[in-house]
């Protein structure tokens, strides 16, 4: 999740999708879902699926349009790293037994 999010925040969602293989992307989306960010995971998955359907040499304009719409959805839920940390903190507080103990 953090790898997908970090690359998305630095280079955009499309870059994050191109950088990660599908297994890594699925794991990142599973992490987002664990923290209740289902819509952010859906934005990533839909962009990946739509970009794949465009084929090996898609129109840059079409890709940009797809990415802009996906990023609007993603950014509405996770506008900053702090928003992701806040979601982690709330989940940890509510379900600390699901996390490894700290020293």
Q: How far is Cα 103 from Cα 34, in angstroms, rounded to an integer?
A: 24
- Please report whether residue 98 resides in a domain: no
- Separation of first and last alpha carbons in the chain: 24
Report yes or no on 99 lying in a domain. no
Flag whether 103 is in a domain: no
Number of domains within the chain: 1
Residue 101 domain-assigned? no
> Residue 63 sits in which domain range?
2-93
Helices H, strands E: what count in the chain? 6, 0
The answer to whether residue 102 is domain-embedded is no
Per the domain annotation, does 65 fall within a domain?
yes
CA 71 to chain centre: 9
Over residues 49-100, the pLDDT tens digits come to 998 998 888 888 888 898 899 899 999 989 999 999 999 999 999 999 999 9
């Amino acid at each position: 999740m953090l790898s997908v999010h970090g690359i998305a925040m630095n280079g955009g969602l499309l870059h994050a999708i191109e950088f990660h293989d599908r297994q890594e992307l699925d794991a990142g989306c599973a992490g987002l879902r664990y923290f209740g960010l289902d819509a952010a995971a859906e934005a990533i998955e839909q962009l990946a699926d739509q970009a794949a359907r465009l084929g090996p040499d898609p129109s840059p304009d079409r890709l940009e349009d797809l990415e802009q719409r996906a990023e609007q959805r993603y950014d509405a839920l996770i506008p900053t790293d702090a928003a992701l940390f806040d979601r982690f903190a709330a989940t940890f507080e509510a379900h600390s037994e699901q996390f490894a103990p700290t020293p």
